[in-house]
Structure 1
Amino acid sequence: MSPSPAASEPAPVRAARGRDDACPGALRLHLADDGALARVRVPGGLLSSDQALALALAAEELGDGALETTSRGNVQLRGLAADAGAELALRLGAVGLLPSLPHDRVRNIVATPLAGLDGGAQLGGWVRELDALLCGSEPARKLSGRFLFALDDGRGDVASLDADVTLIAHAGAADASADVSADASTDGALLRLGRADWCAEVPHGPRAALAAAEAFVQLADGAWRVREADPDGALLAERLGLRRRALPELTGRRPVVGAFAGANARSGGLVVGLRFGRATVEQWRALATAGEELRVTPWRSVVLLGAGAGAGAGVGGAGAGAEAALPAQLAALGLRTDPGSPWEQATACTGAPGCVKSLADVRADAAAALDLVAGEALAETPHANRPAALPVHWSGCARRCGHPVGRWVDALATGPTTYRITNSQQPDSAIEVTTQQMAAAVADARRTT
Structure 2
Amino acid sequence: MIDLQRLFLRFALALLLLTVIAGVLASFAFLLPACFNTILPFHELRPVHASAALFWIITGAACCVSYFSGRHSKAFMVLWMVTIVVIFANYCFHHYGGREYWEFPAYLNLPLLAAWLCFMAVFLKRLPAGAPVYYWMWSTGVFFFLLTFLEQQLWHISWFRVSFLREVTVQWKANGAMVGAWNQMINGLSVYLLVAISGDAGLAQKKKTWFLYFLGLFNLMFNWGHHVYNVPNSNWMRGVAYGVSMTEWVIIILIIRDFSNSLSTGRKFRHLVVYRFIRTAELWVAANLLLALLMSIPAINRYTHGTHITVAHAMGTTIGINTMLLLAAFGYILDVDSLPERTRRWLRVAISVNTVSLAVFWVALIVAGLVKGYLMTDHPENSFAVVMMAIRPYLEVFTVAGVGVMIALGVICIIFLKYSGRRREV
TM-score category (smaller protein): 0.3 to 0.5
TM-score by length of 2: 0.34
Structure ranking higher in helix proportion: 2
TM-score by length of 1: 0.32
Structure ranking higher in strand proportion: 1
